[in-house]
Structure 1
Amino acid sequence: MGADWSSLEAEIDYSFRNREFLVRALTHKSRTAEHTSEPSADNEQLEFLGDSILGFLVSESLVCLFPGYREGRLSKLKAHLVSSLHLQEVGSYLRLGEYLVLGRGEEMSGGRSKKALVANACEAMIAAIYLDGGLEAARAFVQRHVIRDFDRNALDGRAPLSDHKSELQELCQALKLAPPRYTTVNEQGPEHAKTFTVEARIGKEWVCRAEGASKKSAGQQAARLLLDWLRQAPERIDSASGGRTEL
């Protein structure tokens, strides 16, 4: 296979000792149906295991974050964080769909962009990391990519969960601008408390940077800065030149 697994490992912030776990986590049953009769070669069992690991780790984190909450309130927060919708968002941000190993039919039917497949791959990835690196490695992944991207106010329902990257993408499409691109330009701090700097760019004209506790949150903040800047002075769009404006 020609997949660049090193690039994916950089995206998920974890390097596998045994990449067979990584490949299996991304292998859909349509692939194994065409190439082998071995059911364990696809990601369904990992998805099953990952679902349980995710539930435990999310529950653990929420109890630590909100020690005064009753069970019902914690259950609502957990339901959101382990939902297929949220896992699909996490998986899409990590570009898991680009790395899915699909059968020919699934590939032709647009399987890489199917929400269910991406969400399932996210669960399978959690199990793969657990089997390869243990519970601490899985915990780090869940805290960084599933939980830490949402601040306490947002999780608690006091603030909306905003998707600034989608808003910026839609604005660019409406204005016939180049799609925004995001690059991680810096990361610093200890492994358990890193700070990431992400650059958001539209063509060569507009660039801004933001920091966050994860690549996803930093990217969201960078997108928000670009959105605010464009909306506050729409004439900048009409007067765009080939220069580089950094915010």
Structure 2
Amino acid sequence: MSVARDALEETLEYHFRDPALLECALTHRSLIAEKNPAGTAADNERLEFLGDAILGFVVSDMLVAGHPDYAEGRLSKLKAHVVSASHLHEVAVRIRLGDCLLLGRGEELSGGRGKKALLANALEAVIAAAYLDGGIQPVRNFVAKHILGDLQVPEAGLQVTDYKSALQEMAQALKLPQPRYSIVEEHGPEHAKTFLVEVRVGRDWFSRAEGLSKKSAGQKAAQQVLQQLSDWGR
């Protein structure tokens, strides 16, 4: 097992009894196509299929248990955000899952380690592997810490991911200038850049936030200013 995969097990806080399961979860089909064209070896696509279902169940179960006052529609919107490829990609980047992937040469050269869909799918495969190796508890632990861990639930009635629209509406209601967004900084390789975005409402309200896209960074910054205005208006 490589150093990167050892580090992944540390992050997962779970040690695989069957290392082959984890290796399969990290194996992209491009490697099999190059190394085993006869198709006798397994890639991670079947595990991805299972992981998608397991993740959906665990997230649904934890949201229902954690938010007994939420109606079905609000739970559905929140779940859709949590299990989205964009959110799973952010989690995968944060735990450095890309460093552990087993890719074919062509996929490696095309920047596969940073591709959104590839990383999101691999994360689902790892979740399935953990379930098959150790049952549901390792999955629940990982989801609680890394997928739901820093999720901030907005006030009732707001779109879960649409803080920019909510901030614009609040600024209008408070007779404040419209929010202005600017990119302060961007860094990292082309396939995995991080953006620092600032939002200002007049001279008194502002915040900065980082994200793996300009959109996600802007949403996070808008959420923070929205909270400032909500606290001020109480």
* TM bucket normalised to smaller: 0.5 to 0.7
- CA gap of 1:5–1:156, structure 2 versus 1, over 3 A, is farther
The answer to whether 1:83 aligns with 2:80 is: no
- How far did 1:116 drift? 0.8
Residue of structure 1 equivalent to 2:110: 109
- CA gap of 1:57–1:98, structure 2 versus 1, over 3 A, is same
Matches of 1:125 and 1:155, distance apart in 2:
33
- How far did 1:145 drift? 1.0
Residue of structure 2 equivalent to 1:243: none
- How far did 1:13 drift? 2.1
Matched AA of 1:41: A
**Post-superposition CA distance 1:148-171 (Å, at most 9, x none):** 221344898599799xxxxxxx64
- CA gap of 1:155–1:20, structure 2 versus 1, over 3 A, is farther
Contact kept, 8 Å, 2:27 with 2:44, in 1: the verdict is yes
Residue of structure 1 equivalent to 2:10: 10
Residue of structure 1 equivalent to 2:137: 136
Structure 2 gap segments, 5+ residues each = 164-183, 188-193, 195-220, 222-234
- CA gap of 1:160–1:132, structure 2 versus 1, over 3 A, is same
**Post-superposition CA distance 1:45-73 (Å, at most 9, x none):** 00000000000001001101111211111
Matched AA of 2:119: V
Query: Which secondary structure state, in structure 2, belongs to the residue aligned with residue 41 of structure 1?
Result: coil
- 1:139-218 equivalences under 5 Å are 139-153=140-154, 157=158, 171=185, 173=187
Matched AA of 1:4: A
- CA gap of 1:103–1:115, structure 2 versus 1, over 3 A, is same
More displaced stretch, 145-154 vs 87-96: 145-154
Matched AA of 1:133: G
Residue of structure 2 equivalent to 1:68: 69
Residue of structure 2 equivalent to 1:28: 28
Matches of 2:90 and 2:45, distance apart in 1:
20
Matches of 2:14 and 2:127, distance apart in 1:
11
Structure 1 gap segments, 5+ residues each = 163-169, 174-179, 181-223, 225-247
- How far did 1:141 drift? 1.1
**TM-score relative to the length of structure 1:** 0.61
Matched AA of 1:25: A
Q: Percent identity?
A: 51
Matched AA of 1:115: K
Contact kept, 8 Å, 1:57 with 1:139, in 2: the verdict is yes
Contact kept, 8 Å, 1:154 with 1:160, in 2: the verdict is no
**Post-superposition CA distance 1:64-92 (Å, at most 9, x none):** 11112111111000000010000000101
- CA gap of 1:161–1:76, structure 2 versus 1, over 3 A, is closer
Matched AA of 1:127: A
Matches of 1:156 and 1:52, distance apart in 2:
28
Matched AA of 1:10: E
